[in-house]
Amino acid sequence: MNQARHRGAVHGPTHLFRHVVAGPVLPVLIVLVVILVDLAGGAGMIWLPLLAAGPALAASTNEPRGVLCIGLFAALLGGLLGIRDGVPAHELMAVLSALAAVTLASGLASALRGRRERVLAAVRSVAEAAQHALLKPVPEIVGPFQTAVRYSAAAAEARIGGDLYALVDTPYGVRLIVGDVRGKGLPAVSTAALVLGVFREAAYDEPDLLTVVDRIERSLARNLGADDFVTAVVAGHPRAGQLEVVNCGHAPPLLVRSASAAVTAVESSRPAPPLGLRALTDETPSLQVLPFADGDQLLLYTDGVTEARDHGRAFYPLAEGLARHVSDAPARTLDALHDELLAHVGGRLHDDAALLLIRKPAAVGPGIPQPAPSELLLDDQAI
């Protein structure tokens, strides 16, 4: 959808401007402007040193060969213009020597830039491989549910990070988790991968959802530092018409009833600490059982959504936004929420934000294939 939305802009004025700036057109234009100004003013030496701006600018966008070509082009025109204006030979040689020095330095800068870009491309390819290993596309149908996911990274180049979620279709029904790891960077990615790995195995092995949460807790207790933790909501669909929810210090999911389209927060009846901190308190997670009829929807999210602020420092009202945009198509609902969220913050988030929406359709057609289980680990894509 996003690709289709932007396809029409590819050949528009913005694309043309980027092509002009990124190619040799702009440096050549600068050289020609200097020449034309000199011809119009007849000032000779006053303008000729500005020819060095051409190869200097080309270093930021062109390969070394292109920089040298623009430098030679500027030197040729500068030499002809200097001879035409009667510039003394020693002065003209000084200008051309300076132009040659700038061209060579710019060519070296271009070569170094190209090397850095190749290294960055290699790093990005590794990140892409890690993303494909840890992230899998969410099918539109998982078990009896319609599903959709949207994620926005705070960093423009982010691929994976500490926001996590997963959906698995198990012998005990569909189970899902949404969580947020304390911290950022590679340690957060490592912890998120650990949580997803344990959840995936336990979701298949354990008939009781609380036991799934216990296994994640024990694993984190062995592997996390004293100050590390993971907030998470784990949910399951053990039988028709029911949802089980376990909240471990996470933001409450939002439930949308089909009958009234009312949005209500699923507050935990007995708050539990985040995963990894149970040893510091006597509280243990509790299992909430919710009626979940045909047409009902459940939205899980991370705090990057609800803590997103506009220029007036006002938080994004997620429940109100969901009430405005809820529809029978989870993907369309999340597209609208995601666009409104970005508009609220002015186009860029300061924290990773994840949204996961499931809906129980009234009926599933007999020809719809059942997809394979999918797991997702996020960091800051965009969507």
Q: Is 258 left (phi over 0), alpha (psi -120 to 50) or beta?
A: alpha
Are residue 46 and residue 160 in the same domain, yes or no? Answer: no
In a domain, 146, yes or no: yes
Same domain, 171 and 280: yes
Same domain as 172, residue 124: no
Answer yes or no: do 236 and 364 share one domain: yes
What is the C-alpha separation between 65 and 71, in angstroms, rounded? 10
Instruction: Specify whether 111 is located in the same domain as 214.
Output: no
Q: In this structure, what DSSP letter does residue 39 have?
A: H
Domain co-membership, 205 together with 330:
yes
Residue 383 falls inside a structural domain = no
Q: Residues 356, 310: one domain?
A: yes
Listed in sequence order, the residues at least 6 apart from 21 whose beta carbon sits closer than 8 Å to its beta carbon are 61
Same domain, 37 and 181: no
Question: Does residue 356 fall inside a structural domain?
Answer: yes
My answer on whether 106 and 143 are in the same domain is no
Residues 115 and 172 grouped into a single domain: no
What is the CATH classification number for the domain harbouring 235? 3.60.40.10
Give the end of a domain, one of 96, 131, 166. 131
With a CB cutoff of 8 Å and minimum separation 6, the contacts of 374 are: 136, 137, 138, 139, 142, 166, 167, 168
Q: Which of 76, 102, 131 is the last residue of a domain?
A: 131
Residue 173, phi-psi category: left (phi > 0), alpha (psi -120 to 50), beta (remainder)? left
Residues 112 and 149 in one domain: no
One domain, residues 243 and 332: yes
Question: What sign results for the dihedral spanned by CA atoms 129, 134, 135, 136?
Answer: positive
Range of the domain at 49: 2-131
307 touches 315 (CB < 8 A):
yes
pLDDT by residue for the chain (383 residues), tens only, comes to 433 333 344 344 444 334 444 456 888 888 888 778 777 766 556 777 888 888 888 888 888 888 898 888 888 888 887 787 777 888 888 888 888 998 899 889 989 988 988 888 887 777 666 666 665 678 899 999 999 998 776 655 555 667 888 999 999 999 999 999 887 767 777 888 899 999 999 999 999 999 999 999 999 989 887 788 999 999 999 999 999 999 999 999 999 998 788 899 999 888 889 999 888 887 888 999 999 999 999 999 999 899 889 898 999 999 999 999 999 999 999 999 999 999 999 888 878 788 999 999 986 444 444 444 444 444 443 33
* Number of domains making up the chain: 2
